[in-house]
Chain A
Amino acid sequence: MDLQEELDTKTMISLLTAVLEIEKRYAHELTGVRDTRRKEIKDLISKVVGEKLEK
């Protein structure tokens, strides 16, 4: 699979923006949020890939 072709630049940028949004949301919490944050990112990727590449 050529990921570059399948997942266009625009989608990658919006994915990265969404990842950073999640990071920002948790940035000021000092403890106990790592796993929640990572799960959110994993779910986000699954959702984006599901919408864009698995139709």
Chain B
Amino acid sequence: MKIQRIRLKNFRQFYGDQTLDIAPPGERNVTLVHAENGVGKTTLLNAVLWALYEETSKKFEQRDKILNFAAGQEGENTASVELTFEHEGKEYLAVRAHTTTPGGYAKTRFDVMAIGKNGALSAPLVNPKAFINTVIPWPMAPNFFFDGEQAESFASEKEGEKNVADAIRDILGCTLLETSIKDLDYVERAFNKELGSLKGEQRIQHLEDEIEKLVAESERKSLEVKTLETNISTYETQIGRIDEALRAAQEAAEFQARREGRERELDGVRGQIRETESEIIRWIGTKSISLVAKTLTGQSLDFIDEQSLKGRIPSPYNEEFVKGLLASEVCVCSRPLAPGTAEWRAVQDLLRDAANAEVMGRVVRARARIEVLDEHRAEAGTLLIAQRERLARLEQERQDLERQVEDLGKKLEGVPIAEIRDREHARKKLLVDLEAAKTRRIQLQRDNEHAEQAIRRMNNEIGDLALKNQHAQKILKRRQVAEKARAVLAAVLKNYEETAREEIEDAVNRILVRTARKDYRIRIDDSFGLHLLFSETGNPTPKSGGENQLMSLAFIAALVQFAEKRANEPHNELLIPATVAPLILDSPFGQLDDRYREDTAAFVPEMAPQVILLVSSSQGKEEVIRALEKRIGAEYLLIAENKGPKGDKRQDFAQVRGQRHATTLFNCPRTMTRIEKV
């Protein structure tokens, strides 16, 4: 989709008929709109959202007041937003109009018309809503029409995980798959209910009720796990922030540095303990058998040796040799061996104990295996003792380090500065909460694993019971097909999400290499938590507001790139088609300092084929504009016109391309926002 023009008629503060022509894709693909706060930046973003979907962003206030106040006063009753856009080589006009009747009743009409080569409009499309959803599916829209002021919370600990997960799923177009999986799960249970309602199938009914209960309980626990994961991430970040503050406080810095050193060592020792414990478990699997089987292997080897010595192993005569005698019908003593005679049978009996290649192979293998067990036995004891000693030493080290960490904590608590003491107390409490949350999470995850096993067992039992009844068998087959279909779709979805997660993570990191001042990289974990890490150590680092905003922007840029890549791939029937849409960024630089703004401004034009950037004068400083300059294709000012006199109010000015423009005017015919092309 390429937006060519946005036309506002009496929409919110935009009185009358006003137009913005949008810069086309290419070298100068940025449409820059300057406006002070409260003048209409967010309204412009929401005009597009409203026109296409009748939706607005979260922070858009009084969303039902669409008609411009002055226009209403002058007798106008309709406000509208028109978007002229190109999609797959054709031009369209989308118009959403909001009309208020004299009785105060409001109605909205939405039409999309194709624009012919001569500019003539086609008849309105039959289902404009469905058409727009094929141009930019609604779930993907908030990622293209992005409120930068919310960027800080987008990647924050509290809301980040859900936002990131939703954004990836939305841009991936998983909605269809997700709904199908839920529906098939429901259908599966509906078949089970049908089974339970069969006459004389009370046991199935009972099992079905139990499954229902377990499913409800598991869903509740999964939700709790999600909350706990958010809490864990919050606790870890808060601890990180406290550590940073303690490092920065002169009186605490030394203790804190020592504590961090000990904690790193402690992490290492804990890792070694886990490794040694695993070694011991492996020892049980591979070496312990040689100790237990000591008598048996000794006796077996003695037996083989003794029999070999006596010439019994391998057998003193060979199978081929005996078969040769029987075939030639002549014995070694030259007497004839006529088939069926007593002599012939006596020689044939020798075949029972005759050695062949297989028997000989077995003897060789048995001996080799016994010798290996013997070798293992020789080293098994020594190995175990060594591992046990190592474990004891590591446990001792762990205890020492834990004591040292605790002592350093006490020293920090003893620092005669209330702020440091308070921080240390808070840290201690956070560590307790963190541990409790982690323990609870493990417990809930185990509960859910057990519930899953129980559901599987009960479903199997339902299957067994149903086999006895022909009608039940039919329903069972249907349930199994629903189950299989759900499993296939779930596996497909997981695979898509994994691939998307990895690709987006790589793309964000490529952007961060270009823009972040410190050597950062991000990691998107399995539950879609977005973590900022120091590249060198891989340790998490607490995020400031600016870093959250930078990370969010990098993430959005990566999403848009991912969408573009998807759009160029052959269409996948299981996913909603990908789209390439203009990116509208409202106040994207709010929390960034000057240097970050410059670097971010430099990559913004590359984020999408068309970028509409809405900035205030504090965000659109000279340096930012300079970084963008060669990419600006259209530039606008939003002027706040006030009906009243200036009085004590501030007169705002914007410096655009070396010229000073008044952006607040007084004593105007009405209060409104005017769009002025620069």
Contact = CB atoms under 8 A, between A and B. Distances in A.
A42 B480 contact: no
B180 A28 contact: no
Interface string A24-53: 100110000000011001100110110001
Nearest to A43: B187
Given A38-B183, A42-B187, A20 B574 contact: yes
A27 B176 contact: yes
Interface in A5-30: 7, 12, 15-17, 19-20, 23-24, 27-28
Interface string B540-580: 00000000000000000000000000000000011010000
A38 B176 contact: no
A38 B190 contact: yes
Contacts of B478: 45-46, 49
A41 B187 contact: yes
Contacts of A16: 180, 485, 488-489
A27 B180 contact: no
Given A20-B573, A28-B130, A37-B183, A15 B477 contact: no
**Most chain-B Cβ atoms within 10 A of its Cβ — which of A3, A16, A20, A54?**
A16
Contact of B480 (A3, A37, A41): A3
Interface residues of A, number: 23
Contact of B488 (A12, A45, A48): A12
Interface residues of B, number: 27
B477 A27 contact: no
A7 B485 CA distance: 11
Interface in B190-238: 190-191
Contact of B481 (A7, A24, A37): A7
Contact of B180 (A1, A23, A46): A23
Contacts of B183: 19, 23, 37-38, 41
Contacts of A49: 474, 477-478, 481
B186 A38 contact: yes
B175 interface: yes
Contact of B133 (A23, A28, A53): A28
B450 interface: no
Contacts of A12: 484-485, 488
Given A28-B133, A49-B477, A15 B485 contact: yes
Interface string B584-600: 00000000000000000
Contact of B187 (A23, A27, A38): A38
A8 to B, nearest CB: 12
B179 interface: yes
A24 B485 contact: no
A7 to B, nearest CB: 6
B162 interface: no
14 contacts: A12-B485, A15-B481, A16-B489, A19-B183, A19-B184, A20-B573, A23-B176, A27-B175, A28-B127, A41-B184, A42-B482, A45-B478, A45-B482, A48-B481
